[in-house]
Amino acid sequence: MEMLKRLCVLTSRVDVSANAETALTMALRCRSVKGMDSAVVGDRYDQIIVTAVTARVPAKVNLQLSVGPPRADGYHDLVTVFHALALFDEVTVAPAETDSVRVSGEGAASVPLDGDNLAARAVAALTDAVGPGCRDEPGVAIEIRKRIPVAAGLAGGSADAAGALVACNELWGTGLSQQELAEVAARVGSDVAFALLGGTAIGLGRGEQVTPALVSGTYHWVLAFAAEQLSTAAVYAACDRLRATQADRATQADRATQADRATQADRADGDGPGESAAGRWADGSWAEPQLSTALMAALRSGDPTEVGPLLVNDLEPAAVSLLPRLRRALAAGREHGALGAIVSGSGPTCAYLARDGAHARDLAVALTSADVCRSVISVTGPAPGATVLSPAADQRW
């Protein structure tokens, strides 16, 4: 009877006073309850029907985004510091006859509803990883409730993909570990693994190799949403173009001033070209991005006044070149006392670091009055990564 009571609690819908036979019949129909003692309960009981699972997933800002040269596969190696923000989308997955995607909320009209949708791609990638046998029904109905703006540099699509991954992992009872899910996530998009992890983390490779970072405190941010969207690929391409132009100019300047001798003298170790402040070597090639130890120390201190001036985003000039009004938005934040003002990721959202919650509210009001963006919100970070909310149980009992 004790075992039946446990099963009843786990299924959340069986009256404990029901007779033992009924309860056992119900329990036998259950699927996939984690944490039950299988030695006591046995494989057949280790199950519960879950009809839908909802996950909550955060937006992110990059506190450092240092971009290397383009790789052969078109991506760029990065050194980045991801920081999850308490601005969440919700993703619900449910078994269905056919695959479908429904989107509501912020920017819903510009989210693809077909196989291009990142959440749909995540479901397909997880199915590939664990095999189609994991599904009870042939399809998955995905419902996304958006608060994270689309194509805004906040990795909202990646967040939705991470939400779909953890939700399907729960729905199907695949039992994949966080690390295994991160490997599937990396195949879906560069920022998806971080959206699973959340918090503050260092990202390497194209951003998909994430390691949690040691940070203290809660940071108060103001986000200024733009009316426009920017494509991540277009911003990286603009970054490459700007750098190529700068490299050409530098080469011409070097020739004009016969700077070859100076270049040799600048070489720090005798066998490499000297590095400029902008991260470009004197021979026109680009330096390997490095993690900012100053930023990491500031983040450990938990003092936003130390963190603010160290925020850096190599994609910012590219985003501003595509959307010049961002320059004004960034300047307005600084004028109103932001400790740091950066374009978030590939933009066009601008992120401003405030001293505390009250300062963030004041800054939000000032930015709203300055009329430099579509809308303004204040949020805190770091926030947790993709989190499963309570699964919906089958109501057929």
State the residues that interact with ligand C5P by CB under 6 A: 74-76, 78, 189-191, 206-207, 232-233, 236
Rounded least distance, CB 195 to ligand C5P, Å: 11
Q: Which is nearer to ligand C5P, 76 or 145 (CB)?
A: 76
Identified catalytic residue from 46, 89, 160, 191: 191
Rounded least distance, CB 190 to ligand C5P, Å: 3
Rounded least distance, CB 181 to ligand C5P, Å: 17
Rounded least distance, CB 232 to ligand C5P, Å: 4
Is 146 labeled as catalytic in the residue annotation?
no
Q: Which is nearer to ligand C5P, 106 or 191 (CB)?
A: 191
User: Strands 139-146 and 100-105, how do they pair?
Assistant: parallel
Distance in angstroms between the alpha carbons of the first and the last residue of the chain:
20
Q: Which is nearer to ligand C5P, 243 or 355 (CB)?
A: 243
Maximum Cα interatomic distance, the chain, rounded to a whole number of Å: 94
Q: Cα dihedral angle (223, 226, 229, 231), rounded to 10 degrees? A: -50
3-state secondary structure of 298: helix
Q: Which is nearer to ligand C5P, 233 or 297 (CB)?
A: 233
Q: Which is nearer to ligand C5P, 60 or 206 (CB)?
A: 206
Q: How many other C-beta atoms lie within 10 A of the C-beta of residue 178?
A: 14
Beta-bridged to residue 82, according to DSSP, are 62, 201
Q: In the structure encoding, which two tokens stand for residue 53, read together?
A: 């699972």
Is 60 labeled as catalytic in the residue annotation?
yes
Rounded least distance, CB 210 to ligand C5P, Å: 13
What Cα–Cα distance (Å) separates residue 92 from each residue in 123, 202, 385? 12, 28, 16
With contact defined as beta carbons under 8 Å apart, do 151 and 110 qualify?
yes
DSSP element (H, E) containing 362: helix 357-370
Identified catalytic residue from 46, 60, 89, 146: 60
Nearest alpha carbon to residue 333 among 320, 317, 352, 348: 352
- Residues with a known catalytic role: 60, 191
